[in-house]
Structure 1
Amino acid sequence: MADLVKTPLSVLDPSPIIAGGSAELSLQNTLDLAKKAEKWGYKRFWLAEHHNWVGMASSASPVVIGRVASVTEKMRIGSGAMLLSHYSPLSVAEQFGTLEAFFPGRIDLGLGRAPGTDAYTAQVLRPRAAGEPEFAERLQELTAYLYGSGTAMTNGSHTFHAIPGENSEVPIWLLGSGLYSAQLAGKLGLPFSFAGHFAPGNMMEALAVYREHFRPSEMLDKPYVLLSVQVVAADEEKEAQRLATSMYQKFLLLTRGQPAPLQPPVDNMETIWSERERIAVEEQLFTSLIGDPSGIKQQLAELIEKTEPDEIMAHTEIFDHQARLRSYEILAEAANH
């Protein structure tokens, strides 16, 4: 069995909004989860960025990162992921440089290429112009702000600096659900986080591509894989399976084009989804760890043995906040006993 103790655990939290709840309640629950996750030994706490999505409250992730960092002491707090397509590299460098100034040595900058929303909302967030730099170019500019002395216009007439941020060396991560980010992270010598919590079909190939293309850099001398997966744990197997139906309903509604707040669990999904829908949802969630403490421990060991990650990041959306806390507690216990 894989050595669970040597594989750190972390949290990916989108501040889920439940049916009948509110964004305010969700953000307060995020703070509560962060404080307890630190007590249970989690290494990182990342906030997911989504926009115009009624089921998630962490749209302004840098603001939430700062608040979470203020109620914790040791955990690294970061973005999972900051969606670079919506922002100028200079503004991202300034925001995370500011966070690093307030919380030195505790801030992570995870970057993603996806819009995190629909095309119309993406255009509202930041209108696109023809000939805009591609992701790799924007990443290069961002790195220059955080790891150097700024960047200059092509004719050298003016230099731009991220203040705060310049030479802060905030760790940059690439996050992805496919092969492009895996290959780019490898070539640039950056740590890579794979979104196994919603795209497990690409998991093994993406991890292989990253490791194959990895080149040492000033930031990292060997590959570092953080694997994000869905986790639903409870004291009894039957209860874990019941709690997981909220997650199933979320993905079912997404396949129907009907995003919604997180729904309460149900006793039987068969009356809710068709066979075709069940297959589609399960294809997105087949790496999920669902079970009682012994089941979670075994599933975690099997996943680690199969993928050999340097770190596991748990993404847990459970309707009841206390049950969600207990799930994270069980996972921590499984990895350390």
Structure 2
Amino acid sequence: MPIALSILDQSSVVTGRGPDDAVRETLALARMADQWGYHRYWLAEHHNSSAHAGSAPEILISAIAATTRRIRVGSAGVMLPHYAALKVAEQFRVLEAIAPGRIDLGLGRAPGSDGRTAYALNPNAGTAADQFPQQIRDLQGWLGDGLPVDHPFRAVTASPAVPTKPELWILGSSDYGAQVAAFFGLPYCYAYFITDGAGSEQAMELYHQGYRPSAANPTPNGALAVFALTAATEAEAHRLFSSRALARLWRDQGRFLPLPSPEEADAYAYSTAERAHVQRLRDRALIGTPAQVRAGIEALAAAHVASEVAILSPCHSAAARAESYRLLAAEFAPEAPARLVA
């Protein structure tokens, strides 16, 4: 079965350039992805982070949707416990007015930040995550399904009234998200790049086994979000990966810092334990030539019964990141070279 190829962009901040550069690089890459034939372009949400500039995916979606022609654009995700469901519904109705039929609303339950920041975003953060299923139900109502007759806000409508509605997705990296997606009959994307596969096959199995068909989604639709990076040669791909390896090491140590360059990674004084940690990351990563990376993506998709894979490729060089995505698009769709125009 053909795999739909999409992009997940965290608007990573890199050393030597500012967060504003990261946002502009996201906008530029999205326009290229539209030409290269990618199915979706998803924007992540992070707060109080020196590593990522994408704190407001709905705004980036708006800018990208207005400057692209065919690619679907969406969130991966909006961290729903931070917000009122009505406000999210209105934001995405506006986005549907900008790009009818091309908007995705991916929903997450995790804070996308530290605990203090979660409380700054929502003073009720201590209990907000527990309301995630009810928020999804309310959001579906305000996006067109209608609220129950006894709902206290049944008389409240989400504006603007538009003829289309966004495609809802549930995102997660645990069994919980898989079960929520199955219960609501919604597409589900597992964040493989967060867990490096720990529990991923179990979560996807739970999703498929517990799936309750819905009117919009009569059958389950599972996807993976994975880290992958390619270049013209295997050696160059591994050199570029050194940035990601060091940044991931820092993340695992609780430090969320700008992405270093390969030169900075090469000069870093790794301890013996840190070198072993990085080697484990390297052993599990999808890096190499386009053919090697494609084989890895196809194997993961088959193991998880996933029809779509969203690729995350943080890279210090904006040009190298774009080239990685271009090469992957060409590898998966060599019959469409006309799309591969930077």
Q: 1:152 to 1:121 in 2, by over 3 A?
A: farther
Alpha-carbon distance in 2 for matches of 1:129, 1:247:
31
Q: Could you say which residue in structure 2 is the equivalent of 1:234?
A: 231
Q: Which runs of 5+ in 2 are unaligned?
A: 335-342
Q: Could you say which residue in structure 2 is the equivalent of 1:128?
A: 124
Alpha-carbon distance in 2 for matches of 1:157, 1:294:
53
More displaced, 7-16 or 272-281? 272-281
Q: Could you say which residue in structure 2 is the equivalent of 1:318?
A: 315
283, 291, 294: which one aligns with 1:294: 291
Q: Could you say which residue in structure 1 is the equivalent of 2:35?
A: 39
SS in structure 2 opposite 1:216?
coil
Q: Could you say which residue in structure 2 is the equivalent of 1:220?
A: 217
Asked if 2 retains the 8 angstrom alpha-carbon contact of 1:189 and 1:217, the reply is yes
49, 54, 64: which one aligns with 2:60: 64
Q: Which runs of 5+ in 1 are unaligned?
A: none
Matched, 1:82 2:81: no
Q: Could you say which residue in structure 2 is the equivalent of 1:139?
A: 136
Q: 1:146 to 1:241 in 2, by over 3 A?
A: same
7, 30, 46: which one aligns with 2:26: 30
SS in structure 2 opposite 1:227?
strand
Alpha-carbon distance in 1 for matches of 2:27, 2:73:
12
Q: Could you say which residue in structure 1 is the equivalent of 2:333?
A: 336
Q: How many residues align?
A: 332
Partner amino acid, structure 2, of 1:296 = V
Q: Could you say which residue in structure 1 is the equivalent of 2:94?
A: 98
Alpha-carbon distance in 1 for matches of 2:89, 2:278:
37
1, 7, 10: which one aligns with 2:3: 7
Question: What's the offset of the Cα at 1:265?
Answer: 1.1
Q: 1:75 to 1:130 in 2, by over 3 A?
A: closer
Question: What's the offset of the Cα at 1:285?
Answer: 7.2
More displaced, 249-258 or 201-210? 249-258
Partner amino acid, structure 2, of 1:234 = A
Alpha-carbon distance in 1 for matches of 2:52, 2:212:
36
Question: What's the offset of the Cα at 1:186?
Answer: 0.9
Question: What's the offset of the Cα at 1:315?
Answer: 0.3
Matched, 1:21 2:17: yes
Asked if 2 retains the 8 angstrom alpha-carbon contact of 1:248 and 1:281, the reply is yes
**1:91-147 CA-partner distances (Å, limit 9, x unpaired):** 000000110111100100000000000001111111117765611111111111112
Q: 1:186 to 1:53 in 2, by over 3 A?
A: same
Identity %: 35
SS in structure 2 opposite 1:11?
strand
SS in structure 2 opposite 1:260?
coil
Alpha-carbon distance in 1 for matches of 2:57, 2:261:
25
**1:287-327 CA-partner distances (Å, limit 9, x unpaired):** 53100123223222322332231101000001001000010
Partner amino acid, structure 1, of 2:68 = T
Question: What's the offset of the Cα at 1:266?
Answer: 4.0
**1:43-75 CA-partner distances (Å, limit 9, x unpaired):** 000000000111211101101100011111000
The TM-score with structure 1 as length reference comes to 0.91
Q: Could you say which residue in structure 1 is the equivalent of 2:186?
A: 190
Alpha-carbon distance in 1 for matches of 2:316, 2:36:
21
Alpha-carbon distance in 2 for matches of 1:157, 1:302:
47
Q: How does 1:143-222 map to 2 (within 5 A)?
A: 143-150=140-147, 154=151, 156=152, 159-164=155-160, 168-199=164-195, 200-222=197-219
Q: 1:307 to 1:87 in 2, by over 3 A?
A: same
253, 258, 262: which one aligns with 2:259: 262
SS in structure 1 opposite 2:73?
strand
Alpha-carbon distance in 1 for matches of 2:27, 2:179:
34
**1:125-177 CA-partner distances (Å, limit 9, x unpaired):** 111177656111111111111123356775x5862211126774321100000
